[in-house]
């Protein structure tokens, strides 16, 4: 998630065209499974409601969660069909869909102050509507890194017998200014940041986790308890942003966290076990060849929710 942005003006920073998406999705897929899961999440009270924005170049699902003032959005990045080998004679067809996870904070939330200067100005401008989401005519023009707090990959088998979720974020998305920045808000007030100032320090994992937990619960209601949950930690990245562009480097002080979740069902226990193993191997590609700093299997979802090393859901936002 490279947070590259132009440095000429605020107007140009939210008028960059969104990349054109490829809409060659199979007719029998068309996000039916995701919508069914979200519908179930609403009926079960895991989320309050959801809406969606779909056009030729934009596909996003906006979600409101109980007790959370801001709004989440799953923004489609790409969709592909892949053939994954289970055994020498068995190949499973999967639909892989990659999303960015965004969070549009309410200005009254403490977490609002951790977003960048541009993000805070945009959030309090006419760019956002009364539903606390970007206006329809602006959504496709916002730089994709604005308000991004995590990523999600959904792998769904063509027979709907196996579903994998790979959920990723960093404990902090940290950006430092390599050159001074000045920008005016909608009231005309001039804001300045000197070179060397920290512009963004968003607690990505804490925010993302608030969304991940009800989403996994909703999938569990549809597909049964997960066959595996695995939490991995890697070195994270930090960024320097300025007029000359964006630089990033690995940092031992920042952690990237990845939660792999696999749901498999069917009449054959051996096939279920093989598919679960195959999903675990499939998720390895998201490590980009990096060795995990820490890895731990999780017994069940309740164990993940109760892990003492992560704060309560309301912790990072209030």
Q: Strand pairing partners for 100?
A: 75, 151
β-strand pairing of 173-177 with 181-184: unpaired
Q: 21 with 56: CB under 8 angstroms?
A: yes
CA distance 243 to 223: 48
* In the block, residue with structure tokens 């979740």: 261
Report the pLDDT value the prediction gives residue 52, as an integer from 0 to 100: 87
pLDDT given at position 313: 41
118-148 in b/e form (b: 16+ CB < 10 A) is bbbbbbeeebbeeebbbeeebbbebbbbbbb
Q: What is the pLDDT of residue 288?
A: 67
Are the CB atoms for 186 and 124 separated by under 8 Å?
A: yes
pLDDT at 182: 93
What pLDDT, on a 0 to 100 scale, did the predictor assign at position 174?
96
Q: Note the pLDDT of residue 318.
A: 56
Where the chain has pLDDT below 70, the residues are: 1-31, 84-91, 288, 307-318
pLDDT at 266: 80
pLDDT at 26: 44
Sequence-ordered list of residues with C-beta below 8 angstroms from that of 74, at least 6 positions apart, any chain: 60, 61, 63, 99, 100, 101, 102, 152
Nearest to 265 by CA among 163, 158, 165, 167: 163
Enter the tokens of residue 135. Answer: 């206006």
Work out the burial of residue 209: count CB atoms within 10 Å of its CB; fewer than 13 is exposed, 13-18 middle, 19 or more buried: buried
State the Cα–Cα distance between residues 79 and 25, nearest whole angstrom.
Answer: 7
Q: By the 8 A CB rule, do 44 and 221 touch?
A: yes
Supply 265's token pair: 């069902």
> How much is the pLDDT for 87?
57
* Selection from 238, 240, 233 nearest residue 251 by Cα: 238
User: For residue 185, what are the contacts with CB-CB under 8 A and spacing of at least 6?
Assistant: 121, 124, 125, 191
Alpha-helix runs per DSSP H in the chain: 10-13, 32-43, 117-123, 136-139, 204-223, 269-283, 301-306
């Amino acid at each position: 998630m490279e947070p590259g942005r132009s440095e000429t003006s605020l107007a140009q920073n939210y008028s960059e065209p969104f990349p054109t998406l490829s809409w060659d999705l199979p007719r029998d897929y068309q996000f039916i499974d995701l919508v069914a899961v979200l519908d179930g999440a609403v009926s079960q009270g895991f989320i309050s409601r959801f809406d969606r924005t779909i056009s030729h170049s934009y596909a996003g699902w906006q979600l409101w969660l109980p007790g959370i003032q801001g709004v989440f959005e799953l923004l489609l990045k790409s969709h592909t069909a892949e053939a994954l080998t289970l055994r020498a004679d068995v190949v499973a067809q999967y639909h892989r869909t990659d999303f960015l996870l965004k969070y549009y904070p309410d200005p009254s939330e403490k977490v609002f102050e951790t977003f960048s200067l541009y993000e805070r100005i945009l959030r309090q401008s006419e760019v956002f509507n009364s539903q606390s989401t970007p206006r329809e005519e602006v959504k496709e023009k916002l730089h994709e890194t604005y308000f991004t707090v995590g990523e999600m990959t959904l792998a769904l088998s063509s027979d709907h017998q196996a579903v994998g979720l790979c959920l990723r974020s960093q404990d902090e998305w940290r950006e430092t200014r390599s050159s001074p920045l000045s920008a005016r808000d909608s009231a005309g007030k001039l804001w300045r940041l000197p070179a060397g100032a920290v512009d963004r320090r968003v607690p990505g994992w804490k925010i993302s986790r608030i969304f991940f937990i009800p989403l996994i619960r909703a999938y569990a209601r549809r597909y049964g308890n997960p066959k595996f949950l695995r939490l991995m930690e890697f070195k994270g990245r930090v960024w320097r942003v300025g007029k000359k562009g964006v630089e990033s480097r690995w940092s031992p002080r920042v952690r990237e966290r990845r939660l792999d979740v696999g749901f498999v069902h069917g009449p054959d226990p051996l096939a279920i076990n093989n598919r679960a193993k195959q999903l675990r191997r499939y998720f390895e590609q998201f490590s980009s060849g990096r060795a995990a700093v820490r890895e731990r299997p999780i017994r069940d979802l309740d164990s993940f929710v109760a892990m003492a090393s992560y704060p309560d859901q309301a912790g990072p936002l209030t």
